């Protein structure tokens, strides 16, 4: 890994100007769009192949939500909040059926996994690392995690990233919202498992916010 060109964006992002961040995120969006250009035959988690392949996005994401909600319950998650999440998924389940073709998704595309370097006086994206979360899924699942983990409320990042990735479906915002709920649930389970109570409190608030939208 030390032979790869560049350094993690997370190490330098706080020192960059808004315009520099916009340009980097434009490149990030364009690079991710190329990844999403790789289509696959089924939905599911990828190792050397797709493990437990699902024929549809609806089947895959319902199974993932159910799996994560079982963990949420086992780790002491609020029962009322669990029902709220379940109801939100059911109410918006039509969004999961609108994905005819699974594509390659990095599924952890944030500043801690993107390499950058200065080339000819300008910061450029030089690579991506940490592909162990890769899935075959809706590309908006990938976009939602970047939005939730990295972009947040930063308009320069948002403008660059979405301009770089290119045209999205008409209802992309609704699908991203549903997937952000999933990512928050997955992260809640992780932090609950390792005993990070502060993160659990923060993520509980996120779950309530996303499920109420």
Q: What is the CATH number of the domain that holds 83?
A: 3.90.1200.10
Q: Cα separation of 204 and 115, whole Å?
A: 31
At 68, list the tokens: 């994560």
Asked if the structure places residue 94 within a domain, the reply is yes
Q: For position 182, what pLDDT does the model report?
A: 98
Instruction: Please tell me the distance from the alpha carbon of residue 106 to that of residue 176, in angstroms, as a whole number.
Output: 16
Asked if residue 37 has pLDDT above 90, the reply is: yes
What is the Rg, in whole angstroms, of the alpha carbon atoms belonging to the chain? Answer: 17
What was the pLDDT predicted at 2? 64
Do the domain assignments include residue 129?
A: yes
- Report yes or no on 30 lying in a domain: yes
Residue 1 has pLDDT above 80, yes or no: no
Report the pLDDT averaged over residues 102-113: 98
Q: How does pLDDT run across 113-152, given as a tens digit for each residue? A: 999 999 999 999 999 999 999 999 999 999 999 999 999 9
pLDDT of 202 higher than 70: yes
Residue 209 is encoded by which pair of tokens?
Answer: 């916010």
Is position 71 within any domain?
yes
Asked, for residue 1, whether it belongs to a domain, the answer is no
Between CA 24 and CA 26 the distance in angstroms is: 5
For residue 34, the Cα-to-chain-centroid distance in whole angstroms is 16
Residue 83 covered by a domain: yes
- Give the pLDDT of residue 3: 76
CA distance 209 to 197: 19
Residue 119 pLDDT: 95
Q: Which domain holds residue 22?
A: 7-212
Q: How many CB atoms lie within 10 A of CB 164?
A: 20
In this structure, is residue 26 part of a structural domain?
Answer: yes
Domain count, the chain: 1
Task: Determine the Cα–Cα distance for residues 11 and 123; give it in Å rounded to an integer.
Answer: 13
Does residue 41 sit within a domain? Answer: yes
């Amino acid at each position: 890994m030390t032979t790869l060109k560049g350094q993690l964006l997370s190490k330098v992002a706080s020192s960059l100007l808004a315009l520099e961040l916009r340009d980097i995120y434009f490149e990030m969006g364009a690079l991710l769009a190329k990844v999403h250009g790789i289509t696959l035959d089924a939905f599911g988690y990828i190792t050397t192949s797709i493990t437990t392949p699902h024929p549809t996005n609806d089947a895959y994401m319902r199974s993932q939500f159910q799996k994560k909600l079982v963990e949420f319950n086992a780790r002491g998650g609020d029962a009322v909040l669990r029902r709220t999440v379940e109801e939100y998924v059911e109410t918006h389940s039509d969004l999961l059926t609108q994905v005819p073709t699974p594509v390659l998704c990095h599924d952890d595309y944030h500043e801690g996994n993107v390499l950058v370097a200065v080339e000819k006086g300008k910061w450029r994206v030089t690579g991506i690392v940490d592909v162990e979360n890769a899935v075959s899924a809706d590309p908006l699942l990938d976009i939602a995690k970047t939005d939730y983990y990295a972009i947040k409320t930063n308009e320069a990042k948002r403008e660059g990233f979405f301009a770089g990735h290119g045209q999205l479906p008409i209802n992309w915002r609704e699908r991203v919202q549903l997937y952000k709920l999933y990512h928050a649930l997955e992260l809640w389970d992780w932090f609950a498992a390792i005993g990070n109570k502060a993160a659990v409190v923060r993520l509980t608030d996120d779950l309530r916010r996303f499920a109420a939208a």
